[in-house]
């Protein structure tokens, strides 16, 4: 804060000098001009007296000369006094007005209160951090949270590689309903974090709030594939489907989540209520919720070597005429030739199925023999998988084959070929 006021004082001094110097120079020029003018008038009058003497007009030349010299001497004291006294003090009121007006305008229109609050928040960062994060003080006010966020942003400006700080800032701004700042902070944390799964869920929430649902869905699917017991990721993933009013998908995701929760816990009861709500919505819309229950039973009873898949259509995409669904597994970043394929004529989407060793292109081939797999679903006309006219496709996240997931792997058919 001291440096700030030093800068203000320096600016006022510069502005004052800009006001004073022209006044001094003007007064100096004025004094020189007056002295020169007096001399010029004196010489001119001497010439006139000489001409009058020659013409015989002037009666008393000596008296005229004495009078002329006396008038010149009458002007000399003013000029000398100005020279002796130096520059006048007329600049003082101007400088006073400049200082008063500048400080008054800054007080009225400036951001000095915000600067003061910023300095105060930075100095209290340690205290606020202890109250909010360690003690969890119930007396913490909304202003305390705002000050803590401001102080944290200042520290991150000085230490930009602290991913935990960016993660904390992202969570705080998510709770404070500032999705843009939350997305920027969590994107920074995600890029710096040694374990991406630590940041994936809040980052996905921020992306959802800023309308980037496709990226959010990819992040959540990757987090669930890496850790099938990630409750937070599953919960947000189900909520994402609920936001789109895709109750069928939300129901599948909640049912897959339910066995992972402790019986009788608050979260278990909350998920049960969510399942009931989704079933009611499906019944009101004339859809059979029993189909989803059967699909869930199939998912939980998948055989060894089979991967459960849940295929949905993105909004705005219609089934083509004489539609056939092709589901196949490929090696990520590998050859386009599929390892296993399943063909379903006249599919009814959304659909839950499994793809396993029995669908392999080569007899005796094992899907688990590859460390990673990716699954694709393609809708084509007339049963020809190579026909790209009017065809649509969706791709899953990369899945590790070390542990076959019990929950279905989502594939959303969302783009045309």
In sequence order, what DSSP letters do the residues of 62-104 get, joined into one string?
A: HHHHHHHHHHHHHHHHHHHHHHHH-S-STHHHHHHHHHHHHHH
pLDDT of residue 383: 73
In angstroms, what CA-CA distances link 337 with 32, 307, 325, 394?
98, 19, 17, 17
Tell me if the bond preceding 350 is cis, omega within 30° of 0: yes
The residues facing 395 across adjacent strands are 376
Contact 286, 262 (CB under 8 A): no
- Cα gap 189→187, rounded to integer Å: 5
Cα torsion 317, 318, 320, 326 to 10°: value is 60
Q: List average pLDDT for each run of 10 residues in the chain, which is 417 residues long.
A: 66 73 58 61 68 62 62 54 51 72 68 58 65 65 74 78 84 78 88 84 86 84 84 87 83 86 85 86 65 47 71 83 87 82 85 84 78 90 78 88 74 87
Task: Return the pLDDT at 84.
Answer: 45
Backbone angles phi, psi at 115, to 5 degrees: -60, -45
CA distances from 298 to 55, 166, 303, 360 (A): 138, 42, 10, 20
Determine phi and psi for 370, rounding to 5 degrees: -100, 135
Reduced to 3 states, what is the DSSP secondary structure of residue 39?
A: helix
What are the C-alpha distances in Å from 164 to residues 161, 171, 189, 196? 9, 11, 7, 12
User: Of 302, 307, 346, 350, which Cα lies nearest the Cα of 330?
Assistant: 307
Specify the pLDDT at position 402.
77
According to DSSP, residue 360 is labeled B
Please give the model's pTM, rounded to 2 decimal places: 0.49
Distance (Å, whole) CA 22 – CA 314: 74
353 Cβ contact list (under 8 Å, min separation 6): 298, 308, 309, 311, 327, 342, 344
How many angstroms separate the most distant Cα atoms in the chain? 145
Asked if residues 412 and 394 have their Cβ atoms less than 8 Å apart, the reply is yes
Alpha carbon separation from 161 to 126, 194, 272 (Å, rounded): 19, 12, 41
How does DSSP assign 188-226, residue by residue?
HHHHH-SSTHHHHHHHHHHHHHTT-HHHHHHHHHHHHHH
Contact between residue 148 and residue 133 where contact means Cβ atoms under 8 Å apart: no
Give CA–CA dist 3/15, Å, rounded: 19
In this prediction, residue 377 carries a pLDDT of 92
What is the pLDDT, as a whole number, of residue 300? Answer: 42
Asked if residue 328 lies in contact with residue 376, where contact means CB atoms within 8 angstroms, the answer is: yes
């Amino acid at each position: 804060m001291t440096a700030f006021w030093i800068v203000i004082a320096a600016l006022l001094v510069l502005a004052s000098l800009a006001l004073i110097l022209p006044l001094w120079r003007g007064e100096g020029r004025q004094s020189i001009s007056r002295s020169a003018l007096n001399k010029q008038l004196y010489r001119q009058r001497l010439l006139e007296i000489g001409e009058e003497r020659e013409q015989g007009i002037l009666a008393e030349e000596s008296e005229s000369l004495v009078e002329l010299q006396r008038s010149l001497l009458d002007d000399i004291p003013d000029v000398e006094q100005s020279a002796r006294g130096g520059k006048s003090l007329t600049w003082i009121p101007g400088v006073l007005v400049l200082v008063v007006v500048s400080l008054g305008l800054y007080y009225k229109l400036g951001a000095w209160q915000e600067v003061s609050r910023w300095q105060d928040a930075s100095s209290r960062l340690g205290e606020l951090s202890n109250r909010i994060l360690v003690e969890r003080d119930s007396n913490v006010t909304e202003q305390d949270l705002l000050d803590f966020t401001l102080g944290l942003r200042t520290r991150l400006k000085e230490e930009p590689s602290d991913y935990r700080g960016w993660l904390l800032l992202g969570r705080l701004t998510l709770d404070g309903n500032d999705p843009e700042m939350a997305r920027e902070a969590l994107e920074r944390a995600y890029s710096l974090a040694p374990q991406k799964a630590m940041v994936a869920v809040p980052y996905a929430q921020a992306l959802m709030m800023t309308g980037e649902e496709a990226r959010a869905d990819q992040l959540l699917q990757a987090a669930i594939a890496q850790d099938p017991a990630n409750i937070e990721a599953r919960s947000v993933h189900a909520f994402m489907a609920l936001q789109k009013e895709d109750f069928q998908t939300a129901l599948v995701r909640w049912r897959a989540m339910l066995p992972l929760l402790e019986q009788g816990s608050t979260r278990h009861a909350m998920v049960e209520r969510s399942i009931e709500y989704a079933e009611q919505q499906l019944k009101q819309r004339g859809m059979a919720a029993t189909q989803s229950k059967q699909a869930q039973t199939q998912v939980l009873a998948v055989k060894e070597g089979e991967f459960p898949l849940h295929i949905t259509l993105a909004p705005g995409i219609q089934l083509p005429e004489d539609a056939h669904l092709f589901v196949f597994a490929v090696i990520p970043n590998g050859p386009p030739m599929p390892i296993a394929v399943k063909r379903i004529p006249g599919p009814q989407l959304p659909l839950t199925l499994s793809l396993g060793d029995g669908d392999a292109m080569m007899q005796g081939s094992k899907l688990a023999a590859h460390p990673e797999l990716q699954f694709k679903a393609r809708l084509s006309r007339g049963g020809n998988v190579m026909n790209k006219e009017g065809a649509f496709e969706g791709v899953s996240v990369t899945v590790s084959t070390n542990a076959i997931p019990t929950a279905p792997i989502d594939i959303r058919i969302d783009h045309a070929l």
